[in-house]
């Protein structure tokens, strides 16, 4: 029974169609029809997915004439990434190195 924000977020991300929708929205806002185009499901199904994403705070909806463009909101993604970041020590090589590199860069700039 997912009620907390993090559960809602991860749950929303657990569907490939919804992740694809978010990927599309990363390029800018889009209408339901535009979003539905690549998928072999009905518009209504996509509309439902958008409801889920909206409920999770991952998208907001605008209103322009008869269109209700969806726009990405990153906040919950940031929280999810924050939760995952606590397990960095269990990740293997590459990310660690990237992170170390970023820290080094930052250190050079700030120090």
Partner DNA sequence: GGTGTAGTCAACCTACTGGTTCATCAACCG
Partner DNA sequence: CGGTTGATGAACCAGTAGGTTGACTACACC
The residues facing 64 across adjacent strands are 67
| Interaction of residue 22 with its own copies, rule CB under 8 A | yes
Report the partner that residue 31 touches, choosing among DNA, its own copies, none (CB closer than 5 to 8 A by kind).
DNA
| Interaction of residue 106 with its own copies, rule CB under 8 A | yes
Residues 51-80 that bind DNA (CB under 7 A): 51-52, 61, 65-69
Selected binder of its own copies within 37, 95, 97, 100 (CB under 8 A): 95
Q: In angstroms, give the least distance from the CB of 6 to DNA.
A: 13
The residues facing 71 across adjacent strands are 60
Q: Which residues of 20-51 are buried (b: 16+ CB within 10 A; e: fewer)?
A: ebbebbeeebbebeebbeeeeeeeeebeebbe
Selected binder of DNA within 6, 23, 41, 83 (CB under 7 A): 41
Token pair for 40: 């072999």
How crowded is the C-beta side of 80, counted as CA atoms within 13 Å? 18
- Burial of 61 by CB count in 10 Å (0-12 exposed, 13-18 middle, 19+ buried)? middle
Report the partner that residue 111 touches, choosing among DNA, its own copies, none (CB closer than 5 to 8 A by kind).
none
Residues that bind DNA (CB under 7 A): 1-2, 11, 14-15, 17, 31-34, 40-45, 47-52, 61, 65-69
């Amino acid at each position: 029974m997912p009620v907390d924000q993090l559960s809602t977020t991860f749950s929303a991300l657990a569907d490939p169609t919804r992740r694809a929708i978010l990927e599309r929205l990363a390029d800018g806002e889009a209408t339901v029809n535009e979003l539905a185009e690549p998928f072999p499901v009905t518009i209504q199904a996509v509309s439902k997915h958008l409801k889920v994403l909206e409920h999770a705070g991952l998208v907001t909806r605008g209103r322009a004439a008869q269109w209700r463009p969806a726009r990405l909101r990153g906040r919950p993604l940031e929280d999810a990434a924050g939760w995952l970041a606590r397990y960095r020590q269990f990740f293997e090589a590459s990310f660690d190195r990237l992170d170390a590199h970023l820290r080094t860069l930052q250190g050079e700039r700030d120090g």
